[in-house]
Chains A and B, each alone.
Chain A
């Protein structure tokens, strides 16, 4: 039982990270109906930004408190990733809006490769480790929970509530939901649709950067290929939860995290990805629009 709960906590942590990345996929898909394949690399880029900030901070101010360091890392990573994602949208996706559906998909894949190669060239192809930032571990009733895990789950919960509030309760969120439903009509009501889409990319990137920072803190290492597997898993999470649905993305992320850690705990770790994606396939066969996705009903 303790073992099970232990794995549950691990899965929840991992799932939080996936969930935060998945939100970027799902929001962008919701608003312009494209999959931003470069989003996983934005996550990796956020990790690298955090790494660089960490190295700069520790060499400039040796005794800096960890909380402050983490906060600065997160904020700088958020800004950097947002700038990147905004630029990508501006130069690679916006000019293709209105062309055939596959065109932005292909540029997105191109952007993904370009970003990871850019990091490979500028930062080197090897793993970049950092010393453990937070190492306290608490023992509660035989289950060990590290402070890292608590931080990750807490930050995810806070950010998700903020995002939920923005999307459902602010004029910006209203504009995003309106744009999602009928872009042309939104423009006719005076909403600057291009700007709304840009903001969506920025918001998604900011969350991905937080996820990147958390990933770096959790595993203590980041490498230029890190955008790929977590990116694909987060995308899977978004699809599993129902693409376009915000709570769906989080739920999907948590599920995938849990499946992965529970599978690794009770079966063989080598097959954890097989298990994850098999479950995705099974869910999609029975519920093609995902767990929380609305089925597309065509009115006739």
Chain B
């Protein structure tokens, strides 16, 4: 709707290649139109933020992308590095991760609390391990292919444990971790599925400023090291403004703005809708937002 072509061009030529294309997505629950004709794109290698007031339908978009809901209408195309296209609305839930390579985390953390931290990361590598273990049968007899795969999976898990600074807690039950660590573990687990697109639902919710700074570093590290594209829902503006390349703003299931963080931040429509304030308060709120952004910048230097 309000997307300005000039702001998009800044991201460079490689970024023109979209990893996820959502077209005319609609989701209806009875009489409620949770998402109404929503179209947007995530470019490969970008961090795309999906923002909007509570109830705007952000999580519903995620649920459609990851197969929790079958959308009423619309098309979601995921294009992998190799060029294969997957129509996400047609895949069964487990195939979205297994074949299309989309991973997600949840607003309310969903770890396997009874499994250890390491096991949580190994479960995410289930398909590779099952293949290597000959669907368990060969694995029981200790075939070398399985041993190798098993070693590799532990190495990958260790790599992400290290990235999420959880190495010392590897053998503790995941439920015993503090909240911030559980968030990082959930992201690490999602990364262990080897995704091309990582969907994060409010990764910074409930984190203190220091933890959310650590989260920024983790996310930027993910993008830099693995080239994984990230789509995130976030309320914490310091995170959104700091790390995202591209912001899509929803309100009442519709897109109201789409562009770079700077563009979106100054879009009067966004300010009015997102913050839901009277006109005379807008200035105040903008000042507040900028102050937070500066603080974060200052804290990093």
Cβ contacts under 8 Å, B193 to chain A: 189-190
Q: How far apart are the CA atoms of A187 and B125 in the complex, in Å?
A: 12
Which one of A145-153, A174-182, A210-218 is at the B interface?
Answer: A174-182
Q: B110 CB to closest chain A CB, in angstroms?
A: 5
Task: Verify if B97 is at the interface (C-beta below 8 Å from A).
Answer: yes
Task: Verify if B136 is at the interface (C-beta below 8 Å from A).
Answer: yes
Instruction: Determine whether the beta carbon of A177 is less than 8 Å from that of B115.
Output: yes
Nearest A-chain residue to B110, judged by Cβ = A185
Q: How far apart are the CA atoms of A181 and B175 in the complex, in Å?
A: 12
Please tell me which one of the listed residues B67, B93, B103, B119 contacts residue A174 in the complex, with CB atoms under 8 A apart: B119
Please tell me which one of the listed residues B95, B96, B106, B112 contacts residue A178 in the complex, with CB atoms under 8 A apart: B112
**Contacts A177-B114, A178-B112, A181-B112 hold; do A190 and B136 have CB atoms under 8 A apart?**
no
Nearest B-chain residue to A173, judged by Cβ = B136
Cβ contacts under 8 Å, A172 to chain B: 130, 133, 135-136
Indicate with 1 or 0, residue by residue over A230-245, a CB within 8 angstroms of chain B CB atoms: 0000000000000000
Q: How far apart are the CA atoms of A172 and B130 in the complex, in Å?
A: 7
Nearest B-chain residue to A165, judged by Cβ = B140
Kindly identify, within residues 135 to 159 of chain A, every residue whose CB is under 8 Å from any CB belonging to chain B. none
Q: B39 CB to closest chain A CB, in angstroms?
A: 24
Instruction: Determine whether the beta carbon of A171 is less than 8 Å from that of B110.
Output: no
Cβ contacts under 8 Å, B90 to chain A: none
Instruction: Determine whether the beta carbon of B126 is less than 8 Å from that of A171.
Output: yes
Q: How far apart are the CA atoms of A46 and B167 in the complex, in Å?
A: 47
Please tell me which one of the listed residues A166, A181, A192 contacts residue B136 in the complex, with CB atoms under 8 A apart: A166
Q: How far apart are the CA atoms of A177 and B96 in the complex, in Å?
A: 21
Nearest B-chain residue to A294, judged by Cβ = B114
Give the number of chain A interface residues (Cβ < 8 Å). 22
Instruction: Determine whether the beta carbon of B94 is less than 8 Å from that of A193.
Output: yes
Instruction: Determine whether the beta carbon of B122 is less than 8 Å from that of A190.
Output: no
Q: How far apart are the CA atoms of A178 and B125 in the complex, in Å?
A: 12
Cβ contacts under 8 Å, A191 to chain B: 94, 123, 126-127
Instruction: Determine whether the beta carbon of B139 is less than 8 Å from that of A171.
Output: yes
Kindly identify, within residues 56 to 107 of chain B, every residue whose CB is under 8 Å from any CB belonging to chain A. 66-68, 93-98, 103-104, 106
Q: How far apart are the CA atoms of A170 and B146 in the complex, in Å?
A: 10
Q: How far apart are the CA atoms of A264 and B85 in the complex, in Å?
A: 69
Nearest A-chain residue to B132, judged by Cβ = A171
Q: How far apart are the CA atoms of A171 and B96 in the complex, in Å?
A: 20
Task: Verify if B165 is at the interface (C-beta below 8 Å from A).
Answer: no
Task: Verify if A184 is at the interface (C-beta below 8 Å from B).
Answer: yes
Instruction: Determine whether the beta carbon of A181 is less than 8 Å from that of B124.
Output: no
Q: How far apart are the CA atoms of A162 and B114 in the complex, in Å?
A: 22
Please tell me which one of the listed residues A174, A184, A190 contacts residue B115 in the complex, with CB atoms under 8 A apart: A174
Cβ contacts under 8 Å, A170 to chain B: 133, 136, 139-140
Task: Verify if B113 is at the interface (C-beta below 8 Å from A).
Answer: yes
Instruction: Determine whether the beta carbon of B93 is less than 8 Å from that of A184.
Output: yes
Instruction: Determine whether the beta carbon of B93 is less than 8 Å from that of A188.
Output: yes
Instruction: Determine whether the beta carbon of B123 is less than 8 Å from that of A186.
Output: yes
Instruction: Determine whether the beta carbon of A174 is less than 8 Å from that of B122.
Output: yes
Q: How far apart are the CA atoms of A121 and B128 in the complex, in Å?
A: 46
Cβ contacts under 8 Å, A177 to chain B: 112, 114-115, 119
Residues of A within 8 A of B (CB): 162, 165-166, 170-172, 174-175, 177-178, 181-182, 184-193
A-B contact pairs, 9 of them (CB 8 A): A165-B140, A174-B115, A181-B115, A184-B93, A185-B106, A185-B110, A186-B94, A188-B67, A188-B97
